[in-house]
Structure 1
Amino acid sequence: MGVKSLGYAVVETMQPDRWDHFLTQVAGAMRGAPASDGAALYRVDERPFRFRIETGSADRLAASGYEVEDKAALDALAEKVRAAGRPVEMGTPELAASRCVAGLFRTTDPAGNGLEFYHGDQRAETPFVSPVGVPHFVTGIYGMGHSVLAAPDFEASHAFYRDVLGFHDTDLPHFFLMGGDHDPGMRFAFMHADNGRHHSVALAEMPVPPSQSIHLMLELPSLEEVEKAHARMVAGGYKESATLGEHVNDEMTSFYVQTPGGFDLEIGCNGLVIDPATWEVTAHDKVSKWGHVWAWQTEAAEGAA
């Protein structure tokens, strides 16, 4: 058994109030019980938190937290990461308690992106109730959603996630997003954990941004709920990073909104569920079937005009 799913995201911010508004009033997350160390916790299901918001000196994704089966799996993975030359910081009991887990370790990938791996998840004592009426998010065995990270040394990062961490290739496209004869294109690796979500992590061949994330994704149960979230984004004055559209590879119908951390949150529905035991790797050449007009594309077109 390898990595089970994406469990949580740890975000450092200079704007905790802005994050509170964004998560509760746009995404529809529920405030969790206050953390003993002052961090703000936000729920989208029965887990004590999926977003941990820590006040600090930067706005960035500090870590993506992934669950493994048990202590033996955690210890074995830590040894593999050490053997690959990456740092391993075993979590103290206090750190584990702050994540509501039995044990964990911290590391970074070859691009310096923060990662945490844990076992022994907990459940909250009270049911999830969204402050804006979201009935539920698609989580459970599929985890929180997915995390998309930059990988300037693409081959080294891809090999680390595949051969060391144990993620599995789902789709390995080479997108030409800029167009024209001089566009070198950009490689991506969409990778699944040991569940049916199309990808729990994805890597993009690009420099690491200051936010240390490209985007996170949350899945809602219906297109109606996605449209309601889009309306909340507009009402809240948040920047739309990409219009509503449907992806080719994971069939997710979604839009993208810029978070207070500078990276995006994809909010979607109807994501493809694969059979990880029989899946054959694909290599799509298009990002979307329709829609997903990016803000940078609109800005470039307006500048050219």
Structure 2
Amino acid sequence: MFRKVSQVAESQRSADVAERTSLIEYDTENIDSPILTIEEAVDKCSFFQIQSSMYPKQVVDFSKGIAEADHKILSAEMRLGSEYFFYMETQTALAIPDEDDCMVVYTSSEFPEDAHHVIAICLGVPEHNIRVITRVGGGFGGKFLKAMPVSIACALAAYQLRRPVRIYVNRNSDMIMTGGRHPMKVTYSVGFKSSRKITALHLYILINAGITEAMSPILPLAIINSLKNYDWGALSFDVRLCKTNLSRKTTMRSPGDLQGSYIAEAIIEHVSSLLSKEVDSVRNENVHTLESLSLDYSIITLWKK
């Protein structure tokens, strides 16, 4: 049995006391053990599906590219941890009822149009009855979707009580509920010549998406597109979104692009270390040419279409 209980207090202090003294009982009967790590998700085949339109295309044949290499790095591994948002203002909202079932909602949101739409649905009123005003005290992606539950709860309470209601999430709760950047486990195999030219790269990327997919499906394409800033010769990959029993991860400043750039530079530095060459010389050897750009690497392919 599941029952939702809402508490509305006269002050923030009273609300905090009520929250700390609340007792929540969970029925764990017939519930499987939680999936908390990427490895556990793989063992239990717990993945989200990625639509084909959101999945990037492979470039050339990896087996052919790796056969041309003088040197190989096989199944090297790196891990990218999560990062938490630390915007100055936490998730917050203020809802003020108006006449004729109208309402003004001040929300610290990066996506006010979605909040506007969902608040109207939850209150059962036309969208033109809801006015959403955005005041964002820092966001970086953390207030794109995660601000919506706060503004909706605030609006519902104000609608029921017919009086203004304000929600200000404390820092601890904010960091728990917002989720942060996606942790990843990356396994890569790369082939390269003594001349510093990389001939093939294969990536196996496991992304911890948390309990729901939210914005996670955009990551594979963003990661691979960022990697394509270099000419890897043949580029193949297998990207999986792991479903775990953790708070869902969300978009954080340059989602996917940042991780892709980090992965690319880590591989370049690994290659330069094994060849005992300056890392910039390896970078310069693997920048794109007009020929490589024609292999579905960049905008030139789109231009031709």
Normalised TM-score (structure 2): 0.20
Larger relative contact order (Cα-Cα within 8 Å, sequence gap ≥ 6): 2
Larger fraction in helix? 2
Q: Which has the larger radius of gyration?
A: 2
Question: Which structure dedicates a bigger proportion of its chain to strand?
Answer: 1
